[in-house]
Structure 1
């Protein structure tokens, strides 16, 4: 039962995140990212599991996260060069390193949700 509740929360959260990204410049990337993981979590609520999809999406998201970490004005620069300024002062990310860092952490959250589902499914 807890597994279903967690997946309902994940599914609804990721759908809200997809909706909030509709007005972003790179909506064409982030809306499908959030909708894909929302679909996986939503389907898991109904007992439909696709472990290979979880692994494929997780691999894609983590590779993209690594890219965001090391690129110019990425997470590494946010830590080393800019000394970790607040990510939540304003929701308008005027600085690329803030946007890249937020996206990085979003990808980690998404990956965590998929990994949780994958390991729970493997033990069902």
Structure 2
């Protein structure tokens, strides 16, 4: 029952995140990332699992998270140079480290959701 509720929540949340990314300059990437996760969680609600898809997606998401962590104005800069400034404030072009940090944590959340379904499916 808990897994069912989590998958419903993740499906709706990831679809919502995809929607708010539609107007971004990199919408093609983020809408795709969130919709893959949303569809995977939505199908898991009906106990339809695709373990190989989860592994491929998790692999991509984690590699991209590492890139965001170490990139210029990435998560490491947010921690070391900007003293973990609040990431819930509004995004400004002068603070790209906030967007990259948000994206990093989004990728970790998506990876965790898909990993849960991967282990349930196996």
Asked if TM exceeds 0.5, the reply is yes
Partner of 1:9: 9
Unpaired runs of 5+ in structure 1? Answer: none
Structure 2: distance between partners of 1:15 and 1:93: 24
Deviating runs (4+, > 3 A) in structure 1? none
Partner of 1:120: 120
- Secondary structure of 1:6's counterpart equals helix
Partner of 1:110: 110
Partner of 1:54: 54
Partner of 2:63: 63
Counterparts of 1:25-104 in structure 2 under 5 Å? Answer: 25-90=25-90, 92-94=91-93, 95-104=95-104
Q: CA RMSD in A?
A: 0.9
Instruction: Report deviation, 1:2.
Output: 2.1
Structure 1: distance between partners of 2:78 and 2:44: 36
- Secondary structure of 2:21's counterpart equals helix
Equivalent residues, number: 121
Unpaired runs of 5+ in structure 2? Answer: none
Please report the TM-score for the alignment, with normalisation by the length of structure 1. 0.93
Instruction: Report deviation, 1:93.
Output: 3.8
Structure 2: distance between partners of 1:118 and 1:93: 37
The CA deviation string for residues 44-88 of structure 1, in whole angstroms up to 9 with x for no partner, is: 111211101101100000000000000111000111111111101
Moved more, 61-70 or 92-101: 92-101
